[in-house]
């Protein structure tokens, strides 16, 4: 067929696709040819009409199976259930409305992210045609206009993200219909008006972010119904009125950020009921009265910012002792708005003078201390500097030394490349993990920079599946980090202990994989600049008393700016390092993706998958059954949901282990696949015994 004929045929198919899908959706059309193309062909032609392209394909390749195109996921019947549109596979010269939603009746996941170089125009109301949609991510584009009320018809939606656009108008009350939502972010737009009361209907919501908009009015009392909520951010708005006492009903809350608003009245004493709260920002508001003593009950709190309010009275003495650090100076009188010249001395120069005096006094104490021949066994009135980046915290240095009897080996719970980890229990009962750096290395400038880098990175990280850094001690005699303590230790140790490994049933193992994925997706895509861990291994996955997983050890973490690579010395753990690092030395997020794939197989197999990976790399492509590589210490899974989860996790792990980094998925896409419920079976086989590894690698 000559080129001219091919172009004419393609144009005809696109035209047919447009009108056929429109008629299927009930809109007016004049060209009804429903029999001309199958539903799957219509999906493909609708993509081409959108401007879909793939730099790895030639024009002739577009006649190939579109399920193999980058950014597309299909079900077993070949129908599209997942679309990821990015600057790598779509020509972004059009509007979002150019995508004919009615052509994708089985779509479960739609992600359009081009980081400020993507789709323009508004969010079409026709998006409500995607009745099976569970994940909708339109963040980081240039979308304008309002959020259509019809979006409330997407009743199966679990994940909604329209952040980082230029959306205006009110938050539609119809969002209250999305009762299956776990995550909703409307942040960094120009949304105005009141936050609708109907938001209180979202009983399954875990994270809600409406920050950095122009919302007005009081915080709805109905938010107190969201008892599953773990993160609530409404900062950088114009919210006013009181912070309701009912906020104490959110017993699972870990993060509360209402900073930079116009909220008035006292700080609710009911905040003391939020026992899991670790991040609290009430800064730059109009809070008055005194700081409630109930805040001393928040034993998990490590970020507290009460600055720039109208607080009075004394700071509860227990706060400075019980909390590892305070963000900001709660005595700060500096206003978030314009400062009048007449008050410059009181609001700026006087606090600076006080701070300077305190620093000088502290330095004199330290000098005097180091003149002593040795450290006292117990010195309760003298403290060493305990620092957290962006914090003004202090802790009793001697108590930490005493808790480990000057780092006696009997308190050592692990060793690593940078030093040893010790368990330390303070007099108030709190338990920490102290990571003491090897003394010979602490004198090297490069090592000190690495140490500072780890402290700086971790102090800015807040995620439920990442080990918390509470602070560090840094002086010429000793350097150590102070971490959240994990009772069950490393995943590596548990998998290598037969009794403990059996405790990790299949459901718990799937949850470990999900936790790793969510944590890495946060580091890669929610931190700015993005963070690459560089040493993901089973040794750096820690478990708490409930066998929940947390990513740990950022000793080799590097910050990467967008659209850049990082050439560095080879780092990581042998057996987990991405193969391209051996010859390119270029660190990217895809290196973590590969390591994640290795650990995921290790979780399923109960041991490092080196033998399996070696077999799969051979040209013979042996027929290995999945059931034969799963951990034989556990009985084979029988629950259909658990089997489905294992199949999904296995498929994802092999995708992450692609030799070509560009062929690996992003951790964001992995996280989202694990977040939404998969209703379509991955395999036609009813029994897991019939599924081979080669089928999972297709």
Q: What is the pLDDT of residues 514-557, one digit of tens each?
A: 999 999 998 888 877 778 888 899 999 999 999 999 998 765 55
Closest to 550 in 3D by CA, of 589, 496, 514, 598: 514
- Band (pLDDT 50/70/90 cuts) for residue 233 is very high
- Band (pLDDT 50/70/90 cuts) for residue 670 is very high
DSSP string for residues in 33-47: -TTTS-HHHHHHHHH
- Band (pLDDT 50/70/90 cuts) for residue 472 is confident
Q: Is the pLDDT of residue 150 over 50?
A: yes
With H, G, I as helix, E, B as strand and everything else as coil, classify residue 375. Answer: coil
What is the C-alpha to C-alpha distance for residues 191 and 119, in angstroms, rounded to an integer?
19
19's tokens: 């009108």
Q: What is residue 512's predicted lDDT score, i.e. its pLDDT? A: 96
CB atoms within 10 A of CB 609: 22
Q: 489-697 sits in which CATH class?
A: mainly alpha
Considering the entire predicted model, what is its pTM? 0.60
Mean pLDDT of 430-448: 67
Q: Is the pLDDT of residue 644 over 80?
A: yes
**Lookup result for tokens 């033998």:** 611
Q: What is residue 622's predicted lDDT score, i.e. its pLDDT? A: 64
Q: Is the pLDDT of residue 377 over 50?
A: no
Q: What is residue 438's predicted lDDT score, i.e. its pLDDT? A: 63
DSSP string for residues in 117-153: SS-BS---GGGGG-TT--EEE--SS---SPPPGGGGG
Q: Is the pLDDT of residue 397 over 60?
A: yes
Q: Is the pLDDT of residue 598 over 80?
A: yes
Q: Is the pLDDT of residue 11 over 60?
A: no
Q: What is residue 374's predicted lDDT score, i.e. its pLDDT? A: 34
Q: What is residue 9's predicted lDDT score, i.e. its pLDDT? A: 42
Q: Checking phi first, is residue 383 left (phi over 0); if not, alpha (psi -120 to 50) or beta?
A: beta
Mean pLDDT of 480-507: 91
Q: Is the pLDDT of residue 607 over 90?
A: yes
The answer to whether 435 is annotated as binding is yes
DSSP string for residues in 54-104: -TTS-GGGGGS-GGGSTTEEE-TTS-EEEEEE-TTTB-TTSBGGGS-GGG-
97's tokens: 């409305």
Percent of the chain with pLDDT over 70: 69
Structural domain 209-333, CATH architecture: Alpha-Beta Horseshoe (3.80)
Q: What is residue 456's predicted lDDT score, i.e. its pLDDT? A: 64
Mean pLDDT of 472-487: 75
- Band (pLDDT 50/70/90 cuts) for residue 482 is confident
Q: What is residue 541's predicted lDDT score, i.e. its pLDDT? A: 95
**pLDDT single digits (tens) 338-376:** 333 333 333 444 455 555 555 555 555 554 444 433 333
- Best mean pLDDT range from 167-171, 474-478, 576-580: 167-171
Least confident of 458-462, 502-506, 664-668: 458-462
**pLDDT single digits (tens) 160-214:** 999 989 999 999 999 999 999 999 999 999 999 999 999 999 999 999 999 999 9
Mean pLDDT of all residues in the chain?
76
The CATH number of 393-484 is 3.30.200.20
163 or 419, which is more confident: 163
Domain boundaries, the chain: 209-333, 393-484, 489-697
Q: What is residue 49's predicted lDDT score, i.e. its pLDDT? A: 66
110 or 14, which is more confident: 110
Active site positions, annotated: 535
293 or 682, which is more confident: 293
Q: What is residue 521's predicted lDDT score, i.e. its pLDDT? A: 92
Q: Is the pLDDT of residue 479 over 90?
A: no
What is the C-alpha to C-alpha distance for residues 235 and 213, in angstroms, rounded to an integer?
8
What is each CA distance from 623 to 49, 259, 648, 690, in whole angstroms?
Answer: 40, 58, 19, 11
- Best mean pLDDT range from 111-125, 294-308, 406-420, 639-653: 639-653
Mean pLDDT of 413-417: 75
Q: What is residue 379's predicted lDDT score, i.e. its pLDDT? A: 28
Mean pLDDT of 595-609: 96
């Amino acid at each position: 067929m000559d080129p001219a004929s091919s172009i004419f045929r393609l144009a005809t198919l696109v035209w047919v696709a447009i009108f056929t899908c429109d008629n299927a959706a009930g809109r007016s059309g004049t060209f009804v040819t429903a029999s001309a193309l199958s539903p799957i062909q219509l999906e493909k032609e609708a993509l081409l009409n959108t401007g879909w392209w793939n730099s790895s394909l030639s024009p002739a390749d577009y006649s190939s199976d579109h399920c193999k195109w980058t950014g597309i996921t299909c079900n077993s019947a070949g129908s599209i259930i997942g679309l990821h549109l990015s600057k790598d596979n779509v020509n972004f010269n059009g509007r979002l409305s150019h995508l004919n939603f009615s052509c994708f009746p089985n779509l479960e996941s739609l992600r359009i992210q081009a980081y400020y170089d993507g789709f323009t125009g508004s969010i079409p109301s026709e998006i409500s045609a995607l009745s099976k949609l569970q994940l909708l991510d339109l963040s980081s584009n240039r979308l304008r206009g309002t959020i259509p009320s019809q979006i409330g018809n997407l009743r199966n939606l679990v994940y909604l993200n329209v952040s980082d656009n230029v959306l205006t108008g009110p938050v539609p009350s119809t969002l209250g219909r999305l009762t299956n939502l776990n995550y909703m972010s409307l942040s960094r737009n120009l949304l105005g008006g009141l936050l609708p009361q109907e938001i209180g209907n979202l009983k399954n919501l875990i994270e809600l972010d409406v920050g950095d908009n122009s919302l007005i009015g009081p915080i709805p009392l109905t938010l107190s119904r969201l008892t599953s909520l773990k993160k609530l951010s409404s900062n950088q708005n114009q919210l006013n009125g009181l912070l309701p006492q009912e906020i104490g009903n959110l017993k699972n809350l870990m993060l509360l950020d209402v900073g930079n608003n116009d909220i008035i009245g006292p700080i609710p004493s009911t905040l003391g009921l939020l026992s899991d709260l670790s991040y609290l920002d009430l800064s730059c508001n109009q809070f008055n009265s005194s700081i409630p003593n109930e805040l001393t009950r928040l034993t998990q709190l490590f970020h507290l910012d009460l600055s720039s309010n109208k607080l009075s009275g004394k700071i509860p003495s227990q706060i400075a002792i019980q909390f590892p650090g305070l963000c900001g100076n709660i005595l700060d009188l500096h206003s978030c708005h314009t400062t009048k010249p007449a008050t410059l001395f009181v609001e700026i120069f006087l606090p600076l003078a006080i701070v300077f005096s305190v620093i000088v006094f502290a330095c004199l104490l330290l000098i005097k201390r180091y003149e002593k021949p040795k450290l006292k066994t117990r010195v309760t009135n003298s403290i060493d500097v305990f620092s957290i980046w962006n914090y003004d915290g202090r802790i009793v240095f001697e108590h930490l030394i005493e808790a480990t009897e000057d780092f006696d080996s009997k308190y050592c719970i692990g060793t690593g490349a940078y030093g040893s980890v010790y368990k330390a229990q303070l007099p108030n009962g709190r338990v920490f993990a102290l990571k003491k750096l090897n003394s010979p290395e602490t004198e090297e400038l490069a090592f000190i920079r690495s140490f500072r880098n780890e402290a700086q990175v971790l102090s800015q990280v807040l995620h439920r599946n990442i080990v918390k850094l509470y602070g560090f001690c840094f002086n010429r005699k000793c350097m150590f980090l102070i971490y959240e303590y994990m009772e069950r230790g490393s995943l590596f140790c548990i998998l290598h202990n037969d009794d403990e490994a059996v405790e990790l049933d299949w459901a718990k193992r799937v949850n470990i994989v999900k936790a790793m994925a969510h944590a890495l997706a946060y580091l890669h895509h929610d931190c700015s600049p993005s963070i690459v861990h560089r040493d993901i291994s089973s040794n750096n996955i820690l478990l708490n008393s409930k066998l929940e997983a947390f990513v740990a050890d950022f000793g080799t973490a590097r910050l990467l700016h967008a659209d850049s690579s990082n050439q560095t010395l080879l780092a990581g753990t042998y057996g987990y390092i991405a193969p391209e690092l051996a010859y390119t030395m270029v660190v990217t997020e895809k290196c973590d993706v590969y390591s994640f794939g290795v650990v995921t197989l290790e979780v399923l197999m109960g041991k490092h998958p080196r033998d399996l990976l070696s077999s799969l790399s051979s040209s013979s492509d042996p027929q290995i059954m999945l059931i034969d590589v799963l951990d034989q210490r556990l009985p084979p899974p029988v629950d259909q949901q658990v089997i489905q989860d294992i199949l999904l996790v296995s498929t994802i792990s092999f995708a992450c282990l692609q030799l070509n980094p560009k062929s690996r998925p992003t951790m964001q896409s992995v996280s989202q696949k694990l977040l939404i419920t998969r209703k379509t079976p991955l395999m036609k086989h009813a029994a897991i015994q019939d599924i081979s590894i080669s089928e999972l690698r297709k």
